[in-house]
């Protein structure tokens, strides 16, 4: 299971995120980006974060460590923003924490070179989990110490919002033409050869087991959480073997040049 941490101090909201995540400190002296069960997207966003984040890490991709964060809403009483106060009050109990990467910067496809092999692994992974939120408009990637890190996997596995469609979704293509890494000629074939054999039923079962039971209870159509966990495994397992054949990768729309200072210009960290 994920490491359990108690949130001891609410530091500040991150207003870049649509769900209004916040930076908190934990009783392990760590600093985390907290994603709340009381946010508008609901607990399924947190389920997707855990499954896809842990799966990505086990496939060798860089994903910040995830923990469960126990929140007592009283720690945010000094926060003056009414919206934040309401979010904290609605999120007492178990929430999700992502290791905060101090000094990281948002990925800019015009300023940071990505090798075709790494681009291929990330695009293949996003196709597997059907990530619809990694475009150049919103890359959901960070550059930290010269390396590329993947964040924000809440908008994945869209079939879990409509379980009767889950089986059919495994055969659907993935359009990567707007993917943030499309300009880097991702090597999809090599990525599939490397990663697809790793996505076994055993691996997926272990990854899904990291999701807390309380985020899975009372799901319509499922009698028990074990049945629901198996439902998460099935589409990913079915998709892994052949999704590389259904990745659509046309010439991407060129992003607008960034004027932000200080962006990296290469994977060696040179500016």
Instruction: Tell me whether residue 136 is exposed, middle or buried, using C-beta atoms within 10 angstroms of its C-beta: 0 to 12, 13 to 18, 19 or more.
Output: buried
pLDDT of residue 75: 87
The domain locations on the chain are 3-99, 105-248
pLDDT of residue 18: 63
Separation of first and last alpha carbons in the chain: 40
pTM: 0.91
Full DSSP string of 166-207: HHHHTT--EE-TTBTTGGG---HHHHHHHHGGG--HHHHHHH
d(CA 59, CA 124): 11
Kindly list the distances between the CA atom of residue 202 and the CA atoms of 67, 197, 237, 244, 259, in Å, as whole numbers in the listed order: 22, 12, 10, 21, 46
Q: Give which of 53, 44, 67 is closest to 129, Cα–Cα.
A: 53
pLDDT of residue 80: 86
Q: Taking a C-beta distance cutoff of 8 angstroms, is the pair 95, 24 a contact?
A: no
Q: Give which of 16, 11, 1, 8 is closest to 139, Cα–Cα.
A: 16
pLDDT of residue 108: 92
State the DSSP code for 253. Answer: P
pLDDT of residue 90: 92
CA 159 to chain CA centroid, nearest Å: 16
pLDDT of residue 171: 83
Residues of the chain with pLDDT under 70: 16-18, 251-271
> What would the pLDDT profile of 148-181 be if each residue is shown by its tens digit?
999 999 999 999 999 998 988 878 999 999 999 9
d(CA 149, CA 127): 17
């Amino acid at each position: 299971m994920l490491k359990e941490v108690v949130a001891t101090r609410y530091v500040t909201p991150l207003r870049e995120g649509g769900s209004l995540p916040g930076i908190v400190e934990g009783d392990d002296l760590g600093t985390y980006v907290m994603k709340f069960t009381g946010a508008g997207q609901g607990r399924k966003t947190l389920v997707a974060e855990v499954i896809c984040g842990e799966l990505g890490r086990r496939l060798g991709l860089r994903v910040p460590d995830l923990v469960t964060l126990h929140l007592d809403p009283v720690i945010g009483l000094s926060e003056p923003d009414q919206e934040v106060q309401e979010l904290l009050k609605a999120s007492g109990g178990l929430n999700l924490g992502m290791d905060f990467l101090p000094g990281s910067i948002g990925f800019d496809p015009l300023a940071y070179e990505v090798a075709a092999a790494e681009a291929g692994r990330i695009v293949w992974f996003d196709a597997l989990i059907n990530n619809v939120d990694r475009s150049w408009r919103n890359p959901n990637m960070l550059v930290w110490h010269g390396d590329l890190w993947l964040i924000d996997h809440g908008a994945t596995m869209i079939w879990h919002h409509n379980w009767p469609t889950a089986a059919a979704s495994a055969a659907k293509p993935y359009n990567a033409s707007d993917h943030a890494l499309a300009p880097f000629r991702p090597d999809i074939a090599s990525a599939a050869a490397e990663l697809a054999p790793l996505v076994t039923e055993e691996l997926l079962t272990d990854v899904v087991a990291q999701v807390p039971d309380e985020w899975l209870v009372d799901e319509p159509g499922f009698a028990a959480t074990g049945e629901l966990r198996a439902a998460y495994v099935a589409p990913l397992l079915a998709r892994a073997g052949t999704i590389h054949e259904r990745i659509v990768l046309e010439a991407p729309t060129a992003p607008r040049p960034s004027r932000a200072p200080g962006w990296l210009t290469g994977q060696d960290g040179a500016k």
